Amino acid sequence: MADAQWRQTLSVNLDSVFGLVQGAVAQMLSQEEPEAGHPRGHIVLISSTAGQRGEAYHADYAVTKGAVISLTKSLSSELAPQGIRVNCVAPGWVVTEMSAGTLKDPELGPKVAAGIPVGRPGDPREIAGPVLFLCTPLAGFISGEVLNVNGGAVLVG
């Protein structure tokens, strides 16, 4: 892997997340304290199954997604006492522009689907729903967690 690819992936997948979190936390902490029992805010980071089990030929991607999981846990420990819940959603294969080439490939697409217990990649809405859930009162006692949304793929990979 070229150094430039490594640096670019870390910049996009990790440095940008860190900067966004810094800005969001500053804004949340500048607001009035909410009523007792209500969070000041929610942060939901996006990782990947690759961050939990690695991924051959994509170490740069897997490393950054693993770091997002560690960042989630560290930030949760730091920010939960201040009323900010920090969690993470870890998707598996999802039909997006980034995955389209692989999923449409006549050889690779069926192999990917075969490695997902539900038999198909996810739809972006199936990722959005869990993210939204983590920002509702129903998830008020959840912080520092990784919610796997991958059709069971993390269990078999």
What is the Cα–Cα distance from 99 to 113, expressed in whole angstroms? 12
Sequence-ordered list of residues with C-beta below 8 angstroms from that of 48, at least 6 positions apart, any chain:
61, 62, 65, 90, 91, 92
Coil, helix or strand at residue 74: helix
57 catalytically annotated: no
Q: Tell me which of 25, 52, 61, 65 is the catalytic residue.
A: 61
Which two three-digit tokens encode residue 113? 């689907």
Catalytic residue positions? 61
